[in-house]
Chains A and B, each alone.
Chain A
C-alpha cells in the first residue's frame, strides 16, 4: 500500500465511498490505515481472491490450441443492492467510472501493454492481475478492496511489464489481457444458498487479446549468423565496385550540344528494351500498353491477380513460365538494343559495325 500514489488512492476511495454510501474521507483514512476498517454491510459483496481458473484456462487454451476461438467469461449476477446504495459525495465525478465498475463483480478487462522484445512466439504470457502467484509476479493482495486492487493493477502494469527485465531470454514477454472477476462470497439476496446465478457478460475472442504464433520455427540468432553474412556481402559489393571503378572509366563525351544529335541516340540501357519496342510499334501502342499498363500497374497487381496460395515451384508452373518469358523478353530486347542497333538505330552486327553503347565507351582504362 505504501507505494500507491495519493491520487489513485483517492479515486479508489471515492468509488468505494460511493458504493458503500460513506464519506470519502473516512474511506480514504481507512485505506491509508489511519482508521479502523469499516465493517462491511452484510448485503455488500465481499471481494474474494479472484478466481484464477478462468484466467489460467484462457491463457492455456490460447497458448496451446489455435482452434479455440473464443473464451466465454461468465461472471456472477450483479448483486441488486449495489444499485440501491445512496450516492456518495463523489457520485457526480465522471472519472470514477472504472473503479465503480470494478467494485461490482463485472470488472473491465485490463489490457496489458504488448511489449515485443523479439519476433519470437510468445512463450510465457505473464499472468494477468489477480491470477494468484502463477508466475506473473503481480498477484494482488487478496484482502484489498477490489476497487483499490484493480486501480493499482492498472497503474502497476506498465511499469512492471515495461522494464524489459525478462527480455534476455530472447523469447517475447507479450502479455495477455486478463479478466478480473472478484466474486462475492456472500450470494446476493434472494438467491437460494449454494445457487449461483451466472450471466454471460461478454464473449472474448482469444485472438482479439493475444496473438499466438502457431508452429515454432527453426531460428538462429541474428548476431552472428545473419550479420556476418551481411557484413560479408557489404565487403564483397564494395570490393567489386571499387575494382570495377578502377578498371572501367565513366564516359564523358563532348559537351552537350543541342544542334548535334548523335547517331544513334540511345536511352540509358534500362530503357533500351522500351526503345527497342518503340521502334517496332506505333509509339502510342508501345509507349502506352506495354510500359505503363504492364510495367507499373500490372506489376503492382501481381499479388492480387495470382490467387494461387502455394509457393512451391511445382504448383506454380504457369506463373514461373510467365515471369521467365518476361525476363527473357526484357533481356533479349535490352541486349538487342545495346549491341545490335547501330547508325540510325538500324540493325547492325556489333562485330562488323562496332558497338554503339557509349556507357562503356572507355571500356578498360588504367590510370
Chain B
C-alpha cells in the first residue's frame, strides 16, 4: 500500500477507494454473482453462463445459442435492429412528449419551438422521425430475411403470424405519428392514407371513422392519433414483442442452419 517514503500514494488511494466501492455491500447487492462488472470476475465457462443466467437478461437470452445464429450474415441482426430502433424511438419520443401538446391550436407551434428553442430539440426530433422510417424498413427487411430462410416453417408458424401483427402495428405507429406535427404534409398524407383505409370492403368506412374520430381529419383526429401513438399502439406492440421473443426461444432458438 505504501510507496518508498512510507506515505500512501495517489494511485494506491484510488485503487483502495475503487476496491471499497466495488466491494461494498451496496455494489455487491446490485450485481448478481457472475456479473462481469463484479469485483474479481474471471472469465470461465461457468461465469460466462452466470452472466446470462443470473441477470434479468435471462428473460431474453438463453445461456447458449447456436453458433451459426451468432454470425452477422445469418440474421443480419435485423430483428434486433428493429427492437433497438423501437427502444430509441421510445426514448426520443418521451423527450418529445415534454414539449408537445396534442391540440390543433398549439401542435404546430410546439414543433416549431422544439426545433428552434429547445436544446437538442431538433436533433431529437430528427432522430425520432428518421428512426421511425428506419424501423419500418428494418422490420420489413427482417420479414424478408425470415422468408428467405424459410424460418416460418414448423414450429415457427405462429411466430410469423405474430410478426405480421408486429409489422402492421409498426406501420400504424409510424402512420399515427405522421399526423402529429400538424403541418400540410401531416394533414394531407393522413387524409390520403385514411382514404385508402376507407376503400376496404365492409368495414372500411367504419375503420376510417374510428381512426379519424369523424368523417375527415379534424382536431379530434389529432387527439385520437396522439393517444394511439404514444400509448395504445406501443402498449400493444410491447405485448406482441414479448410473445415474439418468447416464441423465438421456445421454438428452439434461431432457425437453421440452412
From B108, B148, B149, B252, residue with most partner A Cβ within 10 Å: B148
Determine if B38 is an interface residue (Cβ-Cβ < 8 Å). no
Contact with A along B66-93 (1 / 0, CB 8 A): 1111101000010011001100100000
Beyond A241-B130, A246-B123, whether A267 also contacts B72 by CB under 8 A is no
From B51, B133, B154, B192, residue with most partner A Cβ within 10 Å: B192
Binding site for A on B (CB under 8 A): 36, 45-46, 48-53, 61-70, 72, 77, 80-81, 84-85, 88, 104, 108, 111-112, 115, 122-123, 125-127, 129-131, 133-134, 136, 140, 144, 147-154, 156-158, 160-161, 164, 167-168, 171, 174-175, 178, 181-189, 191-193, 196, 198-201, 204, 217, 249, 252-253, 255-256, 258
Q: Do B63 and A358 touch across chains, with their CB atoms under 8 A apart?
A: no
Q: Do B63 and A238 touch across chains, with their CB atoms under 8 A apart?
A: no
Q: Do A250 and B125 touch across chains, with their CB atoms under 8 A apart?
A: yes
Determine if A283 is an interface residue (Cβ-Cβ < 8 Å). yes
Q: Do B64 and A170 touch across chains, with their CB atoms under 8 A apart?
A: yes
Q: How far is the CA of A96 from the CA of B36 in the complex (A)?
A: 51
Question: In chain A, what residue has the closest Cβ to B216?
Answer: A258
Q: Do A312 and B200 touch across chains, with their CB atoms under 8 A apart?
A: no
A245-B123, A275-B196 known; 7 new pairs, CB 8 Å cut-off, are A233-B84, A251-B185, A258-B217, A266-B192, A267-B189, A311-B153, A323-B147
Q: Do A233 and B80 touch across chains, with their CB atoms under 8 A apart?
A: yes
Beyond A170-B49, A223-B52, A233-B80, whether A287 also contacts B199 by CB under 8 A is yes
20 contacts between A and B (CB under 8 A): A119-B63, A170-B46, A220-B64, A221-B63, A222-B62, A226-B65, A226-B69, A229-B72, A238-B84, A250-B126, A267-B193, A268-B193, A271-B171, A284-B199, A288-B199, A303-B154, A303-B160, A311-B149, A319-B147, A323-B147
Q: How far is the CA of A246 from the CA of B104 in the complex (A)?
A: 28
Q: Do A241 and B127 touch across chains, with their CB atoms under 8 A apart?
A: yes
Determine if A64 is an interface residue (Cβ-Cβ < 8 Å). no
- Among the listed stretches A77-85, A149-157, A187-195, A292-300, which one makes contact with chain B, having 4 or more residues with CB under 8 Å of it? A292-300
Which range contains the number of A residues in contact with the other chain?
A: 35 or more
Q: Do A230 and B77 touch across chains, with their CB atoms under 8 A apart?
A: yes
Q: How far is the CA of A143 from the CA of B91 in the complex (A)?
A: 65
| Chain A residues within 8 Å of B256, by CB | 311
Q: Do B53 and A167 touch across chains, with their CB atoms under 8 A apart?
A: yes
| Chain B residues within 8 Å of A278, by CB | 196, 199
CB distance from A312 to the nearest CB of B (A): 6
Query: Within the complex, which residue of B85, B161, B184, B200 is in contact with A253, where a contact is CB–CB below 8 Å?
Result: B184
Determine if A5 is an interface residue (Cβ-Cβ < 8 Å). no
Q: Do A253 and B149 touch across chains, with their CB atoms under 8 A apart?
A: no
| Chain B residues within 8 Å of A250, by CB | 115, 122, 125-126, 129-130
Question: In chain B, what residue has the closest Cβ to A292?
Answer: B200
Question: In chain A, what residue has the closest Cβ to B255?
Answer: A311
Query: Within the complex, which residue of B48, B167, B181, B192 is in contact with A265, where a contact is CB–CB below 8 Å?
Result: B192
Question: In chain B, what residue has the closest Cβ to A213?
Answer: B252
Q: Do B183 and A222 touch across chains, with their CB atoms under 8 A apart?
A: no
Q: Do A225 and B70 touch across chains, with their CB atoms under 8 A apart?
A: yes
Q: How far is the CA of A118 from the CA of B49 in the complex (A)?
A: 9
Beyond A252-B181, A266-B189, whether A311 also contacts B45 by CB under 8 A is no
Question: In chain B, what residue has the closest Cβ to A219?
Answer: B64
From B36, B77, B191, residue with most partner A Cβ within 10 Å: B77
| Chain A residues within 8 Å of B160, by CB | 300, 302-303
Q: How far is the CA of A302 from the CA of B127 in the complex (A)?
A: 34
Query: Within the complex, which residue of A118, A238, A261, A302 is in contact with B53, where a contact is CB–CB below 8 Å?
Result: A118
Q: Do A256 and B183 touch across chains, with their CB atoms under 8 A apart?
A: yes
| Chain B residues within 8 Å of A270, by CB | 136, 140, 171, 174
CB distance from B63 to the nearest CB of A (A): 4
Beyond A222-B65, A250-B129, A271-B193, whether A283 also contacts B199 by CB under 8 A is yes
Determine if A71 is an interface residue (Cβ-Cβ < 8 Å). no
Q: Do A229 and B258 touch across chains, with their CB atoms under 8 A apart?
A: no
Beyond A118-B64, A230-B77, A252-B115, whether A271 also contacts B126 by CB under 8 A is no
Determine if A234 is an interface residue (Cβ-Cβ < 8 Å). yes
Beyond A221-B63, A275-B192, A288-B199, whether A257 also contacts B126 by CB under 8 A is no
Q: Do B80 and A230 touch across chains, with their CB atoms under 8 A apart?
A: yes
Q: How far is the CA of A267 from the CA of B196 in the complex (A)?
A: 9
Q: How far is the CA of A323 from the CA of B152 in the complex (A)?
A: 13
Q: Do B161 and A237 touch across chains, with their CB atoms under 8 A apart?
A: no
CB distance from B30 to the nearest CB of A (A): 18
